[in-house]
């Protein structure tokens, strides 16, 4: 066997393997996707796959980190930590839409996690912590009088992020909507509503 045959197809580094694995996980489900299937899809041996990742679980953990790390970074961005709560809330929503657009397959995978493993349960806990931080921002914006106070802050957070998360079902980076405009549209609907005044 030649050296190239042993190494598999050239051009498959860790990031490329991860990207292909995430597509497979989203198409077939994580549990239904085997390492053998991933290796076949990549055109590499299982040994070549294991050269980059120790296990399928590591692939999942790295993929979920890409989504969660991006979302958590939104909470600590400069425009999300200073200023009026309503501005910080807008910055978090805008940032979340950008993360979704930039990391669409990874966020899609995160949203499909159901807690069937320790890795998935840890991801769900981090999602809950993110939601709690956003809920605190909504409460602060309500206290400022910048957003309606007659809707429970937890409900408002769930409704707004239900809208944001639904983007994974139809948003395509190659489509006519650009992430920046999409983020502004989400802000308009979430914070101003659809009614004209």
| Count of domains for the chain | 2
Indicate if 66 and 44 belong to the same structural domain: no
Is residue 176 included in any domain, yes or no?
yes
Residue 194: band (very low, low, confident or very high) from pLDDT cuts 50, 70, 90 = low
**Is residue 49 within 8 Å of residue 38, measured between CB atoms?**
yes
Q: Are residues 109 and 153 in the same domain?
A: yes
Is the confidence at residue 188, as pLDDT, over 70? Answer: yes
Question: How far is the C-alpha of 87 from the C-alpha of 38, rounded, in Å?
Answer: 43
Q: Taking phi first (over 0 means left), then psi (-120 to 50 degrees means alpha), and beta for anything else, what does residue 71 get?
A: alpha
| Sequential DSSP letters for 138-173 | HHHHHHHTSS-SSS-HHHHHHHHHHHHHTHHHH--T
Give the H/E segment covering residue 63: helix 56-76
Whether residue 178 is contained in a domain is answered as: yes
Are 175 and 78 in a shared domain?
yes
Regarding whether 176 and 114 lie in a shared domain, the answer is yes
Residues 64, 49, single domain; the answer is no
Judgement on whether residues 48 and 63 belong to the same structural domain of the protein? no
Cα–Cα–Cα angle for 184, 188, 194, rounded to 5 degrees: 145
Residue 131 has pLDDT above 70, yes or no: yes
Is residue 197 one of the residues assigned to a domain?
Answer: no
Look at residue 133 and give its three-state secondary structure: helix
pLDDT at residue 177, rounded to an integer: 87
Residues of the chain above pLDDT 90, percent = 84
Q: The domain spanning residue 46 has which CATH number?
A: 1.10.10.60
For residue 184, the domain's CATH number is: 1.10.357.10
Rounded Cα gap, residues 41 and 59, in angstroms:
15
Residue 12, pLDDT > 50, answer yes
Domain hosting 44: range is 3-53
pLDDT of residue 196: 53
Distance (Å, rounded) from C-alpha 196 to C-alpha 56? 50
| 163, 108: one domain | yes
108 — phi, psi (to 5°)?
A: -55, -45
């Amino acid at each position: 066997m030649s050296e190239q045959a042993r190494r598999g197809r050239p051009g498959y580094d860790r990031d490329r393997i991860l990207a292909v694995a995430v597509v497979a996980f989203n198409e077939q489900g994580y549990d239904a996707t085997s390492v053998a299937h991933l290796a076949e899809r990549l055109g590499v041996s299982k040994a070549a796959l294991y050269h980059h990742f120790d296990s399928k679980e590591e692939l999942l953990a790295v993929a979920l980190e890409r989504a969660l790390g991006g979302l958590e970074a939104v909470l600590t961005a400069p425009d999300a930590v200073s200023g009026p709560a309503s501005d910080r809330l807008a910055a978090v929503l805008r940032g979340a839409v950008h993360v979704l657009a930039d990391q669409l397959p990874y966020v899609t995978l995160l949203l499909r996690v159901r807690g069937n493993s320790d890795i998935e349960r840890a991801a769900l806990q981090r999602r809950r912590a993110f939601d709690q931080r956003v809920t605190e921002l909504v409460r602060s914006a309500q206290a400022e009088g910048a957003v309606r106070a007659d809707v429970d802050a937890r409900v408002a957070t769930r409704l707004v992020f239900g809208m944001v998360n639904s983007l994974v079902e139809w948003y395509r980076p190659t489509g006519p909507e650009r992430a920046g405009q999409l983020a502004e549209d989400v802000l308009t609907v979430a914070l101003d509503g659809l009614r004209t005044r």
